[in-house]
Structure 1
Amino acid sequence: MKQGSYIKVELSMSAAKANVYALFFIIPILLLYVPAYILVWPEQFSFSNLRDVVAAHRTWLLISPAIMLGVFVVGAVVHEMLHGFTWAIFCKHGLKSIKYGVYWSMLTPYCHCQEVLPLRAYILGGIMPGLVMGLLPALAGLLMGKILIFLFGLFFSIAAGGDLLVLWMLRHQKKEDLVQDHPDKIGCYVLVKE
């Protein structure tokens, strides 16, 4: 499709296909993060230490699934807000150009930018949740030996797998290309100069 002096190219895929392709990002994240933590903090995984942790925190371990669900729900919303707030910085109409919602059939919140953005701005908004909620907390947990912070970062790095997939689809684009978030599918439109 042509728009002005640009050619509009769709880069998108179905949710089912995206879930399969996201594994290509999730598996390396697991293979990188988990062994690193175990190598730096092996004493945390000794049988006696694990037994002591279970004994000391028995009640907490019983309610931890509810806490984890709460962290997941709130974290999913914050993840989408980070996309939106970052993209809004580059939008002519700011937050008015950002649409939030929930795909109720999948119980998944989403963020959609309604303006065309420069490639770098789109990439920055795409990577922000994985960086702020994933990589940085995982590194902090690794450096401090705080497994809960590490696991938080690991979980939200994995949750950013779909974002990494969209960014991967953009890997061959030129810096002067423009990007428009896809309103219905996982992906975007790229506006390439003729």
Structure 2
Amino acid sequence: MSTSRFCDLLDIPERTWRRWQAKARAGKPVKGPWPAPSRDQHREAVVTMAGKHPAWGHRKIWAMVRHDGHRLSPSTVLRIMADEGLLLHADYQKQRRELAKQRKAAFAAPPTGRVRTRSGSSTSVSTRPLAAGPGGLPVLRTITRSTSSAGTGHRPRTSTTRSPVSNSPSRRPKRCSAACPWSTI
């Protein structure tokens, strides 16, 4: 088979094929390792941060390295971590579960008082002993008292009317429908 016909079958220019052959005869690689100055410049910082926090992914490592003053992209951090073998692959489920247990154990200290939320409701911690949950971690039992009636399902509707006898308003609960006898809405 001629070279021109072979190149037509591969859909590449004949000149490209001849250049590849010349490089192969000279012992040079067809495509060599390209210079990576950004990777070389930031490799030490990325490897150090990834070594300190093995459960973190490349995006969080990138953010922390950027915070330390290095200017690089997330893909550069990903490539450095892949070159060094520091990436946790998604199929390592058991290892990921163990790391998750360690993270949860770090924040397992029970609260010491009332916990206030932004919506105005409060949660108080019960004084009963803590039960052991999955993995031996304590399970907090809480009693929730809501100061607002939003999200409670059936909320009584009231109407303000003036009674003919006095000028003070009276409130009367209304039923939502005849089919709903248990709630006054």
- TM-score normalised over the length of structure 1: 0.25
| Structure of greater relative contact order (alpha carbons < 8 Å, 6+ residues apart) | 1
Select the structure of larger CA radius of gyration.
2
The structure whose residues are more often strand, as a share, is 1
The structure whose residues are more often helix, as a share, is 1
- TM-score normalised over the length of structure 2: 0.25
